[in-house]
């Protein structure tokens, strides 16, 4: 499974109507996802009119897409009233700036507008190497570092947001699908087994800690478990 398979599976399983994507870029995922209402957020949208027209022909619901060329922080602040007019976000895909700080804010802001049945999906939660997990303030900064071969394979320290949520939140079920650089799955519900780590311990953690205890830290699971896991009353 890749991110499109996962996003569409969750929309279909939850009968989701409203989809928000943070970090849209050229819209390769966004335009292919099928949902009645879709909102795209990216500070630099690169979706050509030709690509939008092709998407309209494939799926008429793409005519009603909403595009917000701004940072996710700006979006949640400046478009709060628009979000409040919606019945709630059913599925959110977080794939913006690949830092712990920003991904944490994106999840926190999304939770404020999530519908009762809503699901937050987060990309890049299980980097495969120390280079891919290099902490950096931007994709450009990551690309400039010798240890990162390509900016496109940069996941940063997004994985720390999954760990932090599993430490701090007692109202969320959280796991990571072992596919496509790790796709985090966040829903409301009893968390099952929480992580017992202090904020200072999390602060000191690096990729070597993730590599040594990946399955436990991320609640890593096979993508084939997605439907069954979403339907469970508590995380396993």
Per-residue model confidence (pLDDT) at position 188: 94
Per-residue model confidence (pLDDT) at position 152: 60
Give mean pLDDT in consecutive 10-residue pieces for the chain, a chain of 236 residues. 97 97 96 97 93 92 96 97 96 97 98 96 96 87 67 86 96 96 96 91 96 97 94 57
Domain boundaries, position 155:
3-231
The answer to whether position 221 is within a domain reads yes
The answer to whether position 236 is within a domain reads no
Please answer whether residues 219 and 176 qualify as being in contact, where contact means their C-beta atoms are separated by less than 8 angstroms: yes
The answer to whether position 13 is within a domain reads yes
* CATH number of the domain where residue 70 is located: 3.40.50.150
Please answer whether residues 209 and 216 qualify as being in contact, where contact means their C-beta atoms are separated by less than 8 angstroms: no
pTM: predicted TM-score of the whole model, two decimal places:
0.94
Please answer whether residues 29 and 38 qualify as being in contact, where contact means their C-beta atoms are separated by less than 8 angstroms: no
Measure Cα distances from 68 to 80, 91, 139 in Å: 13, 17, 20
Q: Computed from CA positions of residues 128, 2, 75, 189, in that sequence, does the dihedral angle turn out positive or negative?
A: negative
Domain count across the chain: 1
Per-residue model confidence (pLDDT) at position 234: 42
Please answer whether residues 53 and 27 qualify as being in contact, where contact means their C-beta atoms are separated by less than 8 angstroms: no
The answer to whether position 137 is within a domain reads yes
> Tokens representing 235?
């995380």
The answer to whether position 174 is within a domain reads yes
The answer to whether position 33 is within a domain reads yes
The answer to whether position 28 is within a domain reads yes
The answer to whether position 205 is within a domain reads yes
Per-residue model confidence (pLDDT) at position 148: 62
């Amino acid at each position: 499974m890749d991110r499109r398979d996962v996003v569409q599976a969750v929309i279909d399983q939850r009968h989701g109507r409203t989809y928000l994507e943070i970090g849209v870029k050229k819209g390769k995922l966004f335009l292919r996802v099928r949902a009645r209402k879709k909102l795209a957020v990216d500070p630099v949208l690169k979706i050509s009119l030709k690509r939008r027209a092709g998407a309209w022909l494939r799926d008429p619901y793409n005519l009603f897409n909403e595009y917000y060329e701004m940072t996710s922080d700006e979006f949640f602040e400046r478009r709060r009233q628009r979000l409040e007019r919606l019945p709630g976000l059913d599925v959110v895909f977080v794939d913006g700036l690949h830092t712990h700080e920003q991904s944490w804010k994106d999840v926190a802001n999304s939770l404020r507008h999530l519908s009762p049945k809503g699901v937050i999906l987060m990309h890049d939660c299980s980097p495969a190497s120390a280079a891919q997990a290099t902490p950096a303030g931007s994709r450009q900064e990551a690309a400039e570092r010798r240890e990162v071969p390509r900016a496109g394979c940069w996941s940063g320290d997004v994985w720390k947001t999954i760990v932090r949520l599993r430490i701090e939140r007692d109202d969320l079920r959280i796991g990571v699908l072992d596919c496509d650089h790790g796709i985090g799955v966040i829903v409301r519900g009893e968390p099952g087994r929480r992580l017992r780590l202090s904020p200072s311990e999390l602060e000191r953690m690096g990729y070597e800690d993730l590599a040594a205890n990946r399955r436990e830290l991320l609640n890593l699971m096979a993508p084939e478990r997605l439907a069954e896991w979403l339907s469970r009353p508590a995380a396993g």
